[in-house]
Amino acid sequence: MASAVKARFVIQNVENVSALLMRPPEASCLLVLAHGAGAGMNHPFMESIAGELAAAGVATFRYQFPYMERQRRVPDPPRVLMAAVRAAVSKAREMAPELPLLAGGKSLGGRMTSQAAAAQPLDGVRGLVFFGFPLHPPGRPGTTRAGHLARVNVPMLFLQGTRDQFADLNLLRPIIEELRSKAALHVVDTADHSFHVLKRSGRADSEVLQELAHVLASWARTAF
């Protein structure tokens, strides 16, 4: 059974936020996992994917962005969010220095992680993982949010649903192809941005999360 250790860390010597390290007995690596824009680290998706990752041998370090810690709805400016990513990576390394590090997150959390990594490599991080990369707002297809990905110097894994309104796969696939060996894409049929699948898929949401966890664990074994 995975152990769970609560933690707190400081961002830019000002913000003090919550975190949770979930570590299975035989962890192969540690994913520093940021939440999406509208829900914090204790959202059911975050808790469920952390549990599935633990079952697949991947430890997680979930953490709050400052605005979520203060129970506000509007996300912090990107500079604050990226500072939080760096501080979380540093705290995760401190708590589990022997585990190889990955970083990423759900939607906004993943994009802020990649922007931070594009601006300056995240210390010790060997790969990035995106649970629904938010390529564009719903109904407003575009690719400007992907401009920074070419400056990321570690492997990236994109986990996307075919019904994700935040990422038209016809736009995302060419971007990933241009990144070549640096990027891998795993597509879940009928899944939306929250990885809910249609009944006609014949699958439960829990099965999808299990699939994502196993894909991530397998990718991590070959990515570094």
* CATH number of 95's domain: 3.40.50.1820
Which residue(s) pair with 101 in the sheet? 30, 125
Domain count, the chain: 1
Question: pLDDT band at residue 1, thresholds of 50, 70 and 90?
Answer: confident
pLDDT for 197 beyond 90:
yes
**Beta strands 3-11 and 15-23, pairing class:** antiparallel
Structure token pair of residue 29: 């690596």
**Residue 215, phi then psi, degrees to nearest 5:** -65, -45
How confident is the prediction for the chain on average, in pLDDT? 97
Q: What's the mean pLDDT in 27-55?
A: 97
Structure token pair of residue 42: 């204790």
Q: What's the mean pLDDT in 175-185?
A: 96
pLDDT for 223 beyond 80:
no
Q: Identify the residue with better confidence: 188 or 224.
A: 188
**Confidence at residue 124, expressed as pLDDT on a 0 to 100 scale:** 96
Q: What's the mean pLDDT in 71-75?
A: 95
Question: pLDDT band at residue 42, thresholds of 50, 70 and 90?
Answer: very high
**Confidence at residue 14, expressed as pLDDT on a 0 to 100 scale:** 83
State the residue range of the domain holding 68.
3-223
d(CA 26, CA 90): 22
pLDDT digits (tens, 9 = 90+) for 116-170: 999 999 999 999 999 999 999 999 999 999 999 999 999 999 999 999 999 999 9
Which residues are within 8 A (CB) of 44 and not within 5 positions of it... i.e. 6 or more apart?
Answer: none
Q: What's the mean pLDDT in 2-16?
A: 93
Three-state DSSP state, 165? coil
